Structure 1
């Protein structure tokens, strides 16, 4: 519905900046165990307070959501979201950029190893 005098949309809808209640409930607690382990790995208590884990989770989800929205803004000119859009956003954070490129490289190596393994498995199956 449009208001003809102002040209603004009077219908409220949940967009990227306004997630629906359902999506917030689905996300909350989703990373709880992983975050507890990470927090412990960085020197926290083995069983951190649930409130602390919830706060860290909120911060992480907000950061990732913001990063994805920024990457999407960059990608909209091209029409396709690419890994390079994220790397561009973190280009000045050298430790984070280095870790991301390292993980991407390892991921590529694992893909190649799986491909070779699958090819060898197919050859062995063809022999039998």
Structure 2
């Protein structure tokens, strides 16, 4: 976990989501090449939000006496935002369905390259 004092300043951070943010802005009606400052501000907001959620989840794990963060810690961190918590629940259900479907699929019919492509 990165403590508040050890966290890199906004100007030192790597832009992790710049391409995704550009695509989202364009999808919501912005120009195809938004201002660099716009992407920078949105990047800062997004990274701050992710840091805060991860710190909250880590704090919950430590309070429970664990060193590893579990999904329930993130769910607890999102407890005050029912919309995001609901989305997490839906995604977890979808993940279980995908895992079950993947187990049911018969890979024995496939050969060599075809099997390798399917598993990638």
Question: TM-score per shorter chain, which class?
Answer: 0.7 to 0.9
**Deviation of the 1:101 alpha carbon:** 1.2
Which whole-Å deviations, capped at 9, do the CAs of 1:15-48 have from their partners, x for residues lacking one? 5221358xx75x5222111111112223322221
Change (3 A) 1:107 1:89: same
Q: Distance in 1 between matches of 2:79 and 2:45?
A: 21
Q: Distance in 1 between matches of 2:37 and 2:50?
A: 20
Q: Tell me, which stretches of 5 or more residues in structure 2 are unaligned? A: 111-120
Q: Distance in 2 between matches of 1:92 and 1:48?
A: 32
Asked if 1:103 corresponds to 2:88, the answer is: no
Q: Distance in 2 between matches of 1:124 and 1:81?
A: 39
Relative contact order (C-alpha < 8 Å, sep 6+): which is higher? Answer: 2
The structure 1 segments of at least 4 consecutive aligned residues displaced by more than 6 Å after TM superposition are none
Asked if 1:69 corresponds to 2:73, the answer is: no
Q: Tell me, which stretches of 5 or more residues in structure 1 are unaligned? A: 1-14
Contact 1:28 1:57 survives alignment (8 Å): no
* Matched residue count: 106
TM normalised by structure 1 equals 0.70
The DSSP-based 3-state class of the residue aligned with 1:76 is helix
Change (3 A) 1:51 1:20: closer
Q: Which residue is equivalent to 2:114? A: none
Q: Distance in 2 between matches of 1:59 and 1:111?
A: 33
Decide which structure has the larger Cα Rg and report it: 1
